Structure 1
């Protein structure tokens, strides 16, 4: 499998614990609008067929040539058509994990204010990093609030795509204008919206201004 690239724009994180029909329909709408990537959050409570749902998501994303990542559960890359893995923490045995997966995949990492994590990502040639959380967020309760100074310093260390996440909404995205970033990672702002296409339009207007 050829390694896909990750575009600029909206990086959609989806919560698989939502009703499957809702997840797939909102994902389909989002893909039709055009998004940079999709990450499947590893929140599989109440999901009876985890691998089946993950494969359905991968199939939808493949139809739109959109890379799809699994959050932390790298073992799934051995049997499912995923494009990459997103780690919440630095993995202890990255090279062993790559050998186990045995195919070209994209790898990303969540970073906070500790720039050592950014340096690690750079040294290990990860494909992108994301910063969580830029603002208080119910879906990012385990993340510290990241300072803008951290993001500015990180951009000098890591020369690949850099995404911002956590509590980002069209109403506050202008507060990030002084930063150099590739896109924003969004979960509730799109997946909880009654009309995901309209939500994406609002984000995109702010990102492209």
Structure 2
């Protein structure tokens, strides 16, 4: 299995609500220029044809910068655009069934909310996990806010990378230090920023501090 831990440090999840003056492609390119290490294309309202057309453009952009692209939820689109990964939630297709669809090479990320869900995802072949929501977020109104201790327990329970997600921004990201995460997944603090490239650059520094604090603690044990 490909090691993707370093690719997850600053994981940008797209959201069309902030497009306007810039296209989504321009926004994603600014985020990558600022230091984003992974992109997840998330489209809940597009039909498959429009989603695929957009995915092919974003895939080409990510390839040019050597950044992995994950597709959210839609396995057919992920296969058709030859994405690097597919990310599914607990209410989507189970990761073992996803693996049968996408084959051995595509990465699979799974959203989890507990140690039990995390262990099942690992058993079913997940390559990485997303845990959250960590903080209140307007992006997903129905998301329950989970605890930092719960995040720490999930990271300790599995041997694959875990990314924290949900309401993470410049002000609260430091609270995630010491949890064992491989990175942070961020939506509005990147794509809702007036200067996406600068926001990404600043968040990359903060994310590296959070992740490296865990690595330094491991080295001192």
With normalisation by structure 2, the TM-score equals 0.83
Distance 1:54 1:44, change over 3 A: farther
CA-atom RMSD in angstroms:
2.4
Query: Could you tell me how far apart the structure 2 residues matched to 1:122 and 1:79 are?
Result: 25
Q: Who is 2:118 aligned against? A: 118
Q: Does 1:197 align with 2:197?
A: yes
Distance 1:92 1:70, change over 3 A: closer
- Equivalent residue of 1:140, what SS? coil
Greater mean alpha carbon deviation, residues 176-185 or residues 42-51: 42-51
Distance 1:143 1:207, change over 3 A: same
Query: Could you tell me how far apart the structure 2 residues matched to 1:28 and 1:79 are?
Result: 22
Distance 1:59 1:16, change over 3 A: farther
State the 1:124 CA deviation.
2.2
With normalisation by structure 1, the TM-score equals 0.88
Residues 166, 186 of structure 1: 8 Å contact kept: yes
Query: Could you tell me how far apart the structure 1 residues matched to 2:4 and 2:180 are?
Result: 19
Gaps of 5+ in 1: none
Gaps of 5+ in 2: 210-221
Higher helix share: 2
Query: Could you tell me how far apart the structure 2 residues matched to 1:73 and 1:141 are?
Result: 21
Distance 1:55 1:140, change over 3 A: same
Q: Who is 2:4 aligned against? A: 5
Residues 111, 131 of structure 1: 8 Å contact kept: yes
Q: Who is 1:34 aligned against? A: 35
Query: Could you tell me how far apart the structure 2 residues matched to 1:193 and 1:167 are?
Result: 14
State the 1:17 CA deviation.
5.9
Residues 71, 86 of structure 2: 8 Å contact kept: yes
- Equivalent residue of 1:49, what SS? helix
Matches within 5 A, 1:1-209: 5-6=4-5, 7-16=7-16, 19=19, 21-45=22-46, 49-89=50-90, 91=92, 93-102=94-103, 104-112=105-113, 114-209=114-209
